[in-house]
Structure 1
Amino acid sequence: MNLQISRPWKLLSNRVWRTYTGGAVLNQWQQNGIPEDNHFPEEWIASVVKARNPGREKQTNEGLSWLKTEGEPLLLTDLIQSDPEGMLGTDHVRRYGTHTGVLVKLLDSAERLTIQVHPDRSTAEHLFGSPFGKTEAWYALGTRQINGINPYVLLGFKPWVTREHWEALFHRQDIEGMINCLHRIDIKEGQVILVEAGIPHAIGPGCFLMEIQEPTDFTIRVERVTPSGLHLEDHSCHQGLGFDQMFDCFHYKTYELHEIIEKCFIKSRLLSSQPDSRSKELLGRERCAYFSMDELEVSATPTIIPPQPGYSVGIVVEGMGEVRWKGGFETLTQGDCFFFPPQIEDMHLISNEHGLRFVRCYPPD
């Protein structure tokens, strides 16, 4: 494979089937087709993870990201395999091999997602043989009211919940009882929410989020029918663990409302402010060792992006412009997503007159 590795790689759109409906706002934001809700409410970005969708096994590459090239599209996994250190960085490859160690998504919910949980690393290793669990963080890019309901999330067990009570509610399929076990918290655009693996949660309707997470698709669901009426296969609930062992994935620590808000809602931090650019930390290493995010706002003046020892993933949240580097350039428009290998020479961003907002997501140190 004879390609220049050290350059930004534009990612092709990668919509993934899910058990819930949504995607209308995501379509509109991407300026991509008719803004309607369906079962493809998620865009997986820089993904080397295959989606776990029982019944769709014939979709062999569902979830994997493709790159734009001068010729035929190329799987990101194939380009990484051709030059792991060039694509990921020497230190990253030493620790994680050819795995990116992180997954980025965009998701837009038209209905409440089923109540769910994801295993932590030790549980994932024990039950799934995976070195990664699924801690995740959400950055609220936008919200909408659906049927007069303000966007919200369900998050964390209330103080009186026990494992025995939780399992009993599941076996009775007492959905209202399960909802009542979790804190309901309204969310607003611009908020960042960190959901550690093991904490039960559900995203409500009307949430347009950027998600950064550990790179797995292990989702334990306790509702056997989605809010819109889709009956789930057993495997979609327990992911092959069975209906007893799946409850080992929950952490049964309980929280008062103020405790779960303090634990999960992250305050952004200003990193720098210049006449032509402004950057802020959305999620830092001190709050999560598995990934981090920052956001850059730039004007028409070129903003230099210093070379970094590791890779990153970039998403154009708003605006238009260009990314330039030694030997080339790519236009930028809202919704564009990029994979940035390490040590790109002379890379800088240029906005049009309306400004540019750009989020960069980083793997583990």
Structure 2
Amino acid sequence: MSTPIISIPSIPLRLTANRVWRSYRGGKLLDEMSDVAEPKDAHYPEDWIGSAVEAINPIEHRTPREGVAMVSAADGMTSISQLFEEHAEYFFGAEHIAQFGAQPEFLVKYIDSAERLHFQCHPTKDFSREHLKSSYGKFEAYYVLDVRPDMGPGVVYVGFQRPPERDVLKDMIERQDIDALSECFDPIPVQRGDVIIVPGGVPHALGAGVLLIEILEPSDWVARFEFSRGGYVLPEKDRFMGRDLDFALGMFDLRAKGAAFVESNYLCQPQVVKQIEHGRRERLIGLAQTDCFQVWKTTWSGRAQRTVSSYCIAIVVGGACRLAGPDGWTAELRRFDRVVIPYGMEWIRMESIGECELLECYPPSAKPELETFTV
């Protein structure tokens, strides 16, 4: 049944938890965000925020439409993908639809790792178009929220600092010589507020104890070249996207990525685009880094207002606030709460409790720099 547009209030659309099974362990901090009585680490370490993308999991752990977010409408719960299809122009605007169709063109996740993730690699867009019959690769970016103090320093592994020859790498993977694979990487320390990009083709892994927001192309393509994590061994069919190791190795960027290269190319520095009294807007990821999505951050105190020129997913990453559209206010939003801001809202009012930080994720075609921002 179609959801009447009048049943979708013109306010930022609050999103609830949307946990997804993965083959590694984590999620205790996500349990705490949702006020679970006994938070624990398990195989639900990810929360897919406002997602219209289905997760690709081993068949024994697959549930129908897993990964697709459900939202509350006047007549009950409905999938966000259904809302997008039925009310595309309201959510995205005609220009976005003509270019991308009725979907956001990006995916956002919470990731809470209790252990290092598998060593893995994702395809580029070009590889996906040629070999996977898909428009999307999996360029991804991390915004670090916190590091668990009981798990040592937070780290990521991005690119081979000491890349092996392809035949040597294949042998390491076939023998699952994890020590040898680990020696190809140097761990890169990360802390709260860091922004890291991982282009398709770059071997990588997230270290243990890191809580972050991941922004990525809207796909679940991955080749895991480490097969066992969290007491679970990936079935052979689920390691290389249903293909074999030689196919997967065709994705790998085997050029050396030294520390200086990683720092200058993969660690992103914020750019202040608008600074006003009691507020500022910063570009964290833009066209200089990728044509797949944009990430901005708004920081303000007191009351503010900005225009809306694009679909956006917004996440409170510091402080607390209320947001309002033409039909009124949302309930109070605390740290880690998330909302969808549709294109058709045209403007939002923002009222902080103390200082507030809002991470804003946009499609690649958005022009946040043209949005007005006043306090």
1:58 positional shift: 5.1
Match of 1:229 among 214, 228, 231: 231
* Whole-angstrom CA distance in 1 between matches of 2:191 and 2:34: 21
Amino acid at match of 1:311: Y
Deviations 1:119-169 (A, max 9, x none): 00011112221101000000001011445x321111111245221221111
* Whole-angstrom CA distance in 2 between matches of 1:58 and 1:170: 26
Deviations 1:73-127 (A, max 9, x none): 1111101111222211212111111232100011110000010000000111122
Report the equivalent of 1:291: 293
Amino acid at match of 2:277: P
Q: CA distance change for structure 1 residues 110 and 181 in 2, over 3 Å: closer, same or farther?
A: same
SS at match of 2:343: coil
Report the equivalent of 2:320: 320
Q: Does 1:98 align with 2:102?
A: yes
Is 155-164 or 135-144 further displaced after alignment?
A: 155-164
Q: Does 1:67 align with 2:71?
A: yes
Q: Is the 8 A contact 2:163 2:254 kept in 1?
A: no
Q: CA distance change for structure 1 residues 57 and 40 in 2, over 3 Å: closer, same or farther?
A: closer
Q: CA distance change for structure 1 residues 339 and 176 in 2, over 3 Å: closer, same or farther?
A: same
* Whole-angstrom CA distance in 2 between matches of 1:141 and 1:256: 25
* Whole-angstrom CA distance in 2 between matches of 1:343 and 1:41: 33
Q: Is the 8 A contact 2:111 2:211 kept in 1?
A: yes
* Whole-angstrom CA distance in 1 between matches of 2:144 and 2:34: 16
* Whole-angstrom CA distance in 2 between matches of 1:319 and 1:30: 17
Q: Any gaps of 5 or more consecutive residues in structure 1? A: none
The two structures, once aligned, show a CA RMSD in angstroms of 1.7
Match of 1:52 among 49, 53, 56: 56
1:32 positional shift: 4.3
1:64 positional shift: 0.3
* Whole-angstrom CA distance in 1 between matches of 2:259 and 2:268: 15
Report the equivalent of 1:355: 355
Amino acid at match of 2:82: D
Report the equivalent of 1:194: 197
Q: Is the 8 A contact 2:11 2:329 kept in 1?
A: no
1:122-161 paired onto structure 2 within 5 Å: 122-147=126-151, 149-161=152-164
* Whole-angstrom CA distance in 1 between matches of 2:167 and 2:186: 19
Q: Does 1:242 align with 2:244?
A: yes
Total equivalences in the alignment? 360
The alignment's TM-score, normalised by the length of structure 1, stands at 0.94
Match of 1:3 among 5, 30, 36: 5
Q: Does 1:85 align with 2:61?
A: no
Q: Is the 8 A contact 1:12 1:68 kept in 2?
A: no
Identity of aligned pairs, percent?
29
